[in-house]
Structure 1
């Protein structure tokens, strides 16, 4: 499985430049490792609209059902400037595969920025996304928009990596396809990954490909791309993974011994009860795929969705 470099929008303070409000930089181990595997476009909305480094901190507050950004010492309101910047940035950035932003930031936080009452004295019960992050989620509703804090969660991090690398492969296909076989090969390689996220979309995609002559190659590609984004905009979960694993197991279940079957079932039970990580279970499954030289399963993006060094 080829891993083309995803294009992501990255908060500039994450290992890139000391542009935080206090003049600091965030040293985050995961996002630092990720830099070697992606193309990144940096963003710092506060600095990009002309705020200095260091600078007085700003906060979010709710007024008339609108979330606004203010610098509480001078009472300068930055809402319109940040929103206008965000909209212009997102219109001009082009094709990207995801966003990795700064946690808890009033511009870039993802569902974890503090939200104050209108009088700026008390917190509202509940968190908000930063103004830029919210615009990114609105503009790219199908892309993963995460911050480095949320990526400490195993499943969120795994989903994020799976999606940005899958979108990078899709982007490469869009830019380079020449015939229907290019699309058919891509679809075959992503069958179980699509099953993981949205089995109904997988069926629709199969129908479109089966009738591609009716639509023509380019329109088939357009419809396929739209459904691919729609499918991967959903979340995976443990039960969805179990469903895919059962389908994969069906390819070689009649070729392995009873003791191997029992051991695999024990491993699946451990995975179900959070006593075994998914990677450990998949490595055992891969051993059968290689033993029986199953080229169809070897090609599946589900089993190798992103560079293993990142997990």
Structure 2
């Protein structure tokens, strides 16, 4: 799974978002952010499940059809007896088998195959019923549940954007340092450097996984790794809040209290409080903490992924 440093982190993406003309009408939905910003960091791997299922371009539009409480089928909007659900599910299963190396997937909003959520589901009579996820997404969640997923349109929200990219880099850490050389030691080291990131997202999982790892030596390592990764990525999928970030920041600050004079500690506490009150973005207290941690922090605290979960140049914490 290891890559050359310049290869980029492999991330799947709905092919229409890269400008490929694979939509039902022969068009595309080219994403400037994905291609001009993320492509500098990620190796984007385009995929269109509808094209892979042999539906062709152009093609009859498809949509989700079903009743509330049932798993919707995927049917033609004109040829209503055309059901491509099984074909799309099989495409999804084959995709997962061949793409376990991915660190995330960027999806097309509203698609009956690639929509992450709020995709319209229709009654058989053509009237809107409710909403669900696209069939390709459902297959990814069933067979690759730890894979970070996000819609391109939702990344206009700074919190969701930062959360998704944080998850991609966390998954990359896992793939390179745990999955590549599986073992209890690698798992414990991963948890050690991810502790404060986990705390910022879900402190309950932080505590639960700490207890779990204390007994993990009694389990087969594959079982321990699978359980840990599932719980870890599920916790990270919940965006951190100002309250939970503030809690993590205060814990980090605790590692400096003996090394700093009173005035410097008060300045750091003031920056954290200004962040809590939404007067400054997260980047402000983080920048100050990183400055003093580089001078006075222990090796343990400096190696925390929470301090730099993604490249500083992306500016993700300037907007949250």
TM-score, normalised to structure 1, is: 0.84
Q: How is 1:253-292 mapped onto 2 (pairs within 5 angstroms)?
A: 253-292=257-296
> Are 1:115 and 2:116 an aligned pair?
no
Task: Report how far residue 308 of structure 1 moved.
Answer: 2.4
Change (3 A) 1:46 1:298: same
> Are 1:71 and 2:71 an aligned pair?
no
8 Å Cα contact 1:194/1:232 also seen in 2: no
Change (3 A) 1:174 1:292: closer
* Structure with greater contact order relative to length (CA < 8 Å, sep ≥ 6): 1
Distance (whole Å) between structure 2 residues aligned to residue 99 and residue 309 of structure 1: 21
Task: Report how far residue 73 of structure 1 moved.
Answer: 2.2
SS of equivalent residue, structure 1 residue 88: helix
Change (3 A) 1:77 1:222: closer
Q: How is 1:129-168 mapped onto 2 (pairs within 5 angstroms)?
A: 129-168=133-172
Distance (whole Å) between structure 1 residues aligned to residue 212 and residue 56 of structure 2: 52
Distance (whole Å) between structure 1 residues aligned to residue 193 and residue 156 of structure 2: 29
Give 5+ residue unaligned stretches, structure 2. Answer: none
8 Å Cα contact 1:4/1:169 also seen in 2: no
Distance (whole Å) between structure 1 residues aligned to residue 6 and residue 203 of structure 2: 24
8 Å Cα contact 2:9/2:172 also seen in 1: yes
SS of equivalent residue, structure 1 residue 248: helix
Task: Report how far residue 259 of structure 1 moved.
Answer: 4.0
Distance (whole Å) between structure 2 residues aligned to residue 156 and residue 254 of structure 1: 36
Q: Could you tell me which residue of structure 2 aligns to residue 101 of structure 1?
A: 107
SS of equivalent residue, structure 1 residue 114: strand
Q: Could you tell me which residue of structure 1 aligns to residue 18 of structure 2?
A: 15
Task: Report how far residue 245 of structure 1 moved.
Answer: 0.7
SS of equivalent residue, structure 2 residue 46: strand
Change (3 A) 1:5 1:94: same
1:91-141, Cα deviation, whole Å (9 max, x unpaired):
343343222111111110111322223211x323x4321111122122222
Q: Could you tell me which residue of structure 2 aligns to residue 230 of structure 1?
A: 231
Distance (whole Å) between structure 1 residues aligned to residue 138 and residue 180 of structure 2: 32
Task: Report how far residue 282 of structure 1 moved.
Answer: 0.9
Q: Could you tell me which residue of structure 1 aligns to residue 28 of structure 2?
A: 25
Distance (whole Å) between structure 1 residues aligned to residue 119 and residue 66 of structure 2: 12
Distance (whole Å) between structure 1 residues aligned to residue 269 and residue 260 of structure 2: 12
1:290-309, Cα deviation, whole Å (9 max, x unpaired):
23254332211111112223
Task: Report how far residue 248 of structure 1 moved.
Answer: 0.3
8 Å Cα contact 2:114/2:134 also seen in 1: yes
Give 5+ residue unaligned stretches, structure 1. Answer: none
8 Å Cα contact 2:53/2:87 also seen in 1: yes
Q: How is 1:160-309 mapped onto 2 (pairs within 5 angstroms)?
A: 160-177=164-181, 182-203=186-207, 205-206=209-210, 214-215=217-218, 219-220=220-221, 222-224=223-225, 226-234=227-235, 235-238=238-241, 239-292=243-296, 294-309=298-313
Q: Which is further off, 45-54 or 254-263?
A: 254-263
SS of equivalent residue, structure 1 residue 73: coil
Q: Give 2:48's match in structure 1, choosing from 30, 44, 47.
A: 44
Task: Report how far residue 200 of structure 1 moved.
Answer: 4.8
Q: Could you tell me which residue of structure 1 aligns to residue 131 of structure 2?
A: 127
1:4-27, Cα deviation, whole Å (9 max, x unpaired):
954332111111522122222222
